[in-house]
Amino acid sequence: MADLNAFMHNQEKKTVDASRKLRIGIIGTGWIAGAHIESYKRQPDVEVVAGADLIPGKAAAFFKDHGVENVKTDYASHKEMLDDESLHLDAVSVCTYNRQHVIPSIYALKKGVNVLLEKPMCVTLDEAIELCRAEKESGKVLSIGFQPRFDANMKMIKRIVESGELGQVYYIQTGGGRRRGIPTPFGTSFIEDKTAGLGALADIGCYSLDMVLNAVGYPKPLTVSGYKSAFFGTDPNYCNYVKTGHPEYAGKFGVDDFAAAFIRLEGGIILDFRIAWAMNINTPGDTIILGTKAGLRIPSTDCWNGSIGGPMTIYRELGGEQIEVPVPVLKQDKDLFDMKIRSFLDASKYGLPAPVPTSQILYNQAILSAIAESSNLGREVEVKIPEI
Ligand SMILES: NC(=O)c1ccc[n+]([C@@H]2O[C@H](COP(=O)([O-])OP(=O)(O)OC[C@H]3O[C@@H](n4cnc5c(N)ncnc54)[C@H](O)[C@@H]3O)[C@@H](O)[C@H]2O)c1
């Protein structure tokens, strides 16, 4: 209670108690770890004390590049770092590729360390369940790195649904796409099965699902009929492989670059989903939420990464006429990554609930895994999630 009071007091004053520092470690020092370290540098109550990467020397070079000194990096993996009790770690950022999300996170939780795990939560539903159980046993904070959640316009979608303006929501179409956007600027960790496990489906599909599921209160998924393909990623003539001189990436591509699904959710909502890293069209369509009183259109973007493409529109009746009400784009005055990091730090420091809780993201992961499973089996599957 004392911690909660201190947090509320600091929130009112909009200050951070810099007298109590949190000791942070970073596991995996690749591309996204750069955003974590830059945000940690802006937090007055953080000391980044350790970093680990499987590639020898990578962590040391990473901290040097980011101008952060006195960080211990002589670890062969997450395990050695978490075993080093001299570090007295309060929390870690897990910034490893998807297939290495669960092992380091569970290890950290078992060591009593709070975890900010990058999105997607993991690759399979079984892994997600194991992770949620470890979190429950540890009593520590485990938050999943969905920074679009903090966007003022994303929050507006949830407020519109919760206000009752749309009536009863019964159908949602969501997804996003890129014409040519297979992410290989830093190598192949997003496209190889051994590192990524899932492709566009998990990488950007998790954002599309979170945008709408969070708005409607994360109903449980019941059944999924899914499809995935990989026509672009496996083609050595894919334009970006050719432009960057890497036709060999086609042989390494072991995930999906397109996925679609028809999902039934508890409460009678139908979710129609499609996602693409590459496709021969400009957009797979806007996100739409249909309710009995009104509908909401959320414009897509050219390069889907979880942001909203422009003003949203509400379609409804007024005085017997059909009208369209624009929802102005809200100004986002704080950096989303800073909000993601700050909310995790506050939860860790004051024992607050995880800002992006696994109780919700478990359903997101269950859908991703069920789409892959259904596609492999060529039929609809039932989603079965045991008690955690
Ligand atoms: N939130 C966002 O906006 C965002 C953006 C990009 C990537 N991501 C997510 O971040 C994750 C990492 O992506 P990336 O582009 O940084 O990948 P990356 O391949 O550049 O970096 C991952 C690093 O983790 C290291 N690693 C793997 N297992 C390890 C272990 N057990 N111990 C220590 N180091 C280990 C690898 O050697 C590699 O250096 C992915 O899951 C991705 O989906 C999130």
pLDDT at 271 over 90: yes
Buried b (16+ CB within 10 A) or exposed e, 180-195: ebbbbeebbbbbbeeb
- What is the per-residue pLDDT across 315-371, written as a single tens digit (0 to 9) for each? 999 999 999 999 999 999 899 999 999 999 999 999 999 999 999 999 999 999 999
∠ CA 170-281-276, nearest 5°, is 65
Could you give the 3-state DSSP secondary structure of residue 130? helix
- Cβ atoms of 212 and 289 within 8 Å: the answer is yes
CA of 4 to the centre of ligand 1 (A): 33
Residue 28 Cα: closest atom of ligand 1: 24
- What is the per-residue pLDDT across 28-79, written as a single tens digit (0 to 9) for each? 999 999 999 999 999 999 999 999 999 999 999 999 999 999 999 999 999 9
Query: Is residue 68 lining ligand 1, measured as CB closer than 6 Å?
Result: no
| Residue 85 burial (CB count, 10 A) | 8
CATH number of the domain located at residue range(s) 151-333+366-382 in this protein = 3.30.360.10
Mean pLDDT, rounded, of the chain: 96
Residue 305 Cα: closest atom of ligand 1: 3
Query: Is residue 98 lining ligand 1, measured as CB closer than 6 Å?
Result: yes
Query: Is residue 79 lining ligand 1, measured as CB closer than 6 Å?
Result: no
Q: Which pLDDT belongs to residue 10?
A: 61
pLDDT grade for 9, boundaries at 50, 70 and 90: low
Measured distance CA(120)–CA(203) in Å, rounded: 6
Q: Whose CA is nearest to atom 19 of ligand 1?
A: 189
Measured distance CA(65)–CA(43) in Å, rounded: 19
Q: Which pLDDT belongs to residue 317?
A: 98
Best of 36, 53, 361, 364 for a ligand 1 pocket test (most atoms within 8 Å of beta carbon): 53
Query: Is residue 53 lining ligand 1, measured as CB closer than 6 Å?
Result: yes
* Model confidence, pTM: 0.96
Return the domain boundaries, the chain: 2-148+336-355, 151-333+366-382
CA of 358 to the centre of ligand 1 (A): 19
Measured distance CA(103)–CA(125) in Å, rounded: 14
- What is the per-residue pLDDT across 128-148, written as a single tens digit (0 to 9) for each? 999 999 999 999 999 999 999
Query: Is residue 189 lining ligand 1, measured as CB closer than 6 Å?
Result: yes
The verdict on domain 2-148+336-355 having CATH code 3.40.50.720 is yes
In the β-sheet with 287-291, what is the strand arrangement from edge to edge?
A: 321-327, 312-318, 294-298, 287-291, 169-177, 269-276, 258-265, 221-229, 381-382
Measured distance CA(388)–CA(275) in Å, rounded: 29
CA of 53 to the centre of ligand 1 (A): 10
Query: Is residue 142 lining ligand 1, measured as CB closer than 6 Å?
Result: no
pLDDT at 305 over 90: no
Residue 355 main-chain phi, psi, to 5 deg: -65, -35
